[in-house]
Amino acid sequence: MRLLNTILALAVVILLGAGLFIGWRAYSNCEASGQGSLSGCLLSNLNPLEDLSYPRGVGTPLTCAANEEYDAGLCYPPCEAGFFGVGPVCWEICPDEYTDDGATCRKDAHIFGKESYGRGVGTIPSDVLAATCGDNQELDAGLCYEPCQSGYTGVGPVCWETSCPEGYADDGATCRRDVHIFSKDSYGRGVGTIPTDIFAGTCSGDQEYDAGLCYPPCDSGYDGVGPVCWRYCPSDYTDDGVTCRRDAHIVGKDSYGRGVGTIPPEFSAGSCGANEELDAGLCYQTCDAGYTGVGPVCWESSCPEGYTDDGATCRLDVHIIGKESYGRGVGVPIYTCAAGMEEDAGLCYTPCEDGYSGVGPVCWKD
């Protein structure tokens, strides 16, 4: 027994001596070589599996190829100039003066009042029967007025700007540019690259698949687009993507003629007969209920509820509202590695040399 203990003690001393010698040699080699990391150099020199493996670097995150762009978990070719990509479709970019509503471009309706100025109260013609006016005057609705300045047209005692800017409709006292909405040009750029050997692109029974990711279904009345659930638009609105739009609507008021006005029997008093009313110095028949007289015309007095009264027209302005929305969580990501890389445990690595197999950051000899 004493001999056995002596032999074991000698073996331990020999192993310790050999270890110290190997450590001293490794330290000396690292000091002499001047390698960057002393600890890394020591580990490399002391690696008992030096001939069986070698490091291949830290893995890099999964990404798209150099000639592709990432969108919602898939890789697509870039869109042409003047277009931007949303999933598999490239959409036209709207002109500067238009609002981008998703699949359409919109220029809102614009209505403004014409410039005007007063030209004084009209006077009764000097020759009533002939209805003629003096020099530098013009006859309008039975009265004489001073002519309007250049670029203006007289209507009773008011001179209105004669014309509207190019692209606007002339509605009398106002100039109108209707809402203009057109669909964007678009083209498909192909189906996104489906992940290879990672996921099959299918979702569990309580989820739905959208653009390469899996999401929980949206609530009733909502539609899912990526990680967001968008509310459906009301029945009388147009769905423009993230907004709901009700177009502008302009209608002419009902009207009817009430005859040519007559000069009051008593000029000084300016009074009219029964069932008549005085307007701009002349007497006209009283308009029917619900109508208002302007010179020889009776116009509908009020507009439908929600409409703005612009005189001869009723206007419902364009109305655009943002849809209600809520997030439904981040989708389950599906990725792939760039060309020339291989996937391992969710990271991309350079392939190992021939005769080696990769396990994470290490290539092991077959």
Q: Give the C-alpha separation, 146 to 148, whole Å.
A: 6
Whole-angstrom distance, CA of residue 349 vs CA of residue 337: 9
Contact 192, 70 (CB under 8 A): no
- The pLDDT assigned to 366 comes to 73
Higher pLDDT, 126 or 219: 219
The residue assigned the tokens 């490794």 is: 26
DSSP class of residue 310?
-
Residue 349 CB contacts under 8 Å (≥ 6 apart), including other chains: 56, 57, 59, 60, 341, 342, 343, 358, 360, 361
Helix (H, G, I), strand (E, B), or coil: what is residue 272? Answer: coil
Is 254 in contact with 246 (CB distance < 8 Å)?
no
Q: Rounded distance, CA 169 to CA 191, Å? A: 46
Tell me: pLDDT of 321 over 50.
yes
For residue range 146-203, list pLDDT tens digits in order. Answer: 899 999 888 877 888 888 888 787 877 778 776 665 554 556 555 444 333 334 455 6
**Residues 289, 105: Cα–Cα separation, whole Å:** 44
Structure tokens given for 155: 């209507």
Tokens at residue 133, please? Answer: 């006016």
29 phi and psi, to 5 degrees?
Answer: -65, -40
Residue 346 CA to its chain's centroid (Å): 34
Question: What does the pLDDT read at residue 352?
Answer: 84
User: What is the pLDDT at residue 87?
Assistant: 73
88 pLDDT tier (thresholds 50, 70, 90): confident
